[in-house]
Amino acid sequence: MCLAIVLFAICIKMILQIDLTIVLLNCLIMVEQVKEFERNGVKLSQSKRKEMEKLKSHIDALNLKYLQNLNDFTKFLLLGEDELAGMPFEFLKDLEKADGKFKVPLTSYHVTPVLEHCKVGSTRKQIAVAYGQKGGKDNVAILENLVQLRHKFAKLLGYTNYADFAIEPRMPKTSRKILEFLEEMSEQLSDVANRELNILKDLKIKEEGNAQFGMEDLLYYIKRAEEFKVDLDVGEIKQYFPVGLVISGMLKIFQDLFALRFDEIKDVDVWHDTVRVFSVWDASSSDLLGYFFLDIFSREGKYAHTCVVTLQNGCLCSNGTRKVPAAVILSQCPKEFDGNSALLRFPEVVRLFHEFSHVVHHVSNRATFSRFSGLRLEGDFAEIPSLLLENWCYESISLKMMSGFHQDITKSISSEACQSLKRRRDLFAGLKMKQEILLCLVDQIIHSSENVDIDDLIKDLHPKVMLGIPLLEGTSPASSFPRIAFGYDAVCYSYIWSEVFAADLFVSKFKDDLLNQHAGLRFRNKVLAPGGSKDPLEIITDYLGREPSLQPFIQSRTRNSL
């Protein structure tokens, strides 16, 4: 009996010495790995796996063909100078001429300016219809074929439809949840979108007479309304964003908000002399959290987009020490020339701030295992912190920290200009979001139902979602919507979803005190630190102290809409 008691005591002692958190995380890793294997066909028979591989190959080939059809689209329209009335001289002078007319290529680079500036309604419609036929019936047929193959692929793995397969590992879990979310969004935005549309219709009546309002008119009259409602000179605004000042202000905001300290490391070997290296420390404990590289200036042969690349994930080592994370932010900012500060356009400021938020997310991560570290996050959750932090680019106190007139940096951007930037972002937000919701609904419906005629679906949905504005005759958004064909199939909703959660976080926790370090530190510890080791919805609900709500997004985006 005594021996049994001793052995029992030893067992209890051993159990108490085990870190149950690590045990649970190990279990989570195993569950996720098993699920990944199952989603890749590990449970299928050999013949079924061969069928799955054939389906994947066929899907890949069709994806490529869809994109190739878009890339091979080289059509143009010949338009006279009178047909392009209202177009800026800078636009016209770059166009080739043929038979005395301007040759307007049907690319987004050329089409968008025409739809925004051309005063001639018939020209806008001609351009919009021609561009809307990009990809044509061939791409619609390819997409319908793709959808059927995706459904077959999902059913092979035991799912009812492809949407449920694609959404299962993401925050909403089911396609039904997404459809409910999109339909509620559309309904909640209808009142403000209707008011916006009436303003645009009135503008068209004043300028062109009592003509029907069409999709070809949206961009032009939104642009006209902006001129009346927003006092903002984009060229002048740029003068307040010297790249060096933007970077130093951005770093200060993140340090102040999240109780961090960034120390630049000099005399270190890097791949280019413009690259800067920083160590990141907890401002209170002085613990080393990680490193980041700033590689933001343009050079030949460099990757052309602004993004973050993880160099090392953080994790707990077997000896109890931590391997710290490291990342690099890449961009193509202009360099100083002849002693003159390089200036950033405001969208470039927002993009840099957004991507640097990913850097901070990466280095703030305290996950035990590398698998849950870095930016290996659930797809709908990955963008929420960065979209939340974009709000700092539209608030006076933070925007002034990143700005200064290039000839006298003591003169920061005015509070009125800050308000105009926010107003410009939110102007006609209802109609803009309705267009996005329409495409997301199409994506979700075709991937959650079988044998859907895509053209008929769009013809039916378009006037309902877009408040009676008819679809341009002879066009189909499905023919030139690469996200729905490749990369975001069945998950086009994700960006809107992330925006809604980000707006709730901002309004609830930060809006009234942007540099509240208590709120920022709590966000860092509760939202950023866990990485992928906890359920994203659980993380956000725990931080908010309640279920997330749609209302803050609707209210914040419609407050300045009109």
* Residue numbers annotated as active site: 355
Q: Tell me how far apart the alpha carbons of residues 35 and 33 are, in angstroms, rounded to a whole number.
A: 5
- Angstrom distance (rounded) from CA 112 to CA 109: 6
In angstroms, the Cα distances linking 60 to 73, 384, 496, 501 are: 20, 30, 27, 33
Name which of 310, 356, 364 is nearest 333 in CA terms. 356
Q: Are 134 and 479 within 8 A, CB to CB?
A: yes
Using alpha carbons, select from 136, 158, 162 the residue that is nearest to residue 56.
Answer: 162
One-character DSSP codes across 374-391: TT---HHHHTHHHHHHGG
User: In the beta sheet, which residues pair with residue 329?
Assistant: 294, 308
Beta strand residue intervals within 240-360, DSSP E: 260-265, 276-282, 288-297, 307-312, 315-316, 322-323, 326-333
Looking at this protein, which amino acid is placed at residue 222? I
**What are 224's two structure tokens?**
């006209």
d(CA 400, CA 413): 6
Three-state SS at 102: strand
How far is residue 191's CA from residue 223's CA, in Å, rounded to a whole number?
21
Q: Could you say which DSSP state residue 477 is in?
A: G
Alpha-carbon distance of 85 to 77, in angstroms, equals 15
Burial class of residue 148 in the structure, from the number of CB atoms within 10 Å of its CB (0-12 exposed, 13-18 middle, 19+ buried): middle
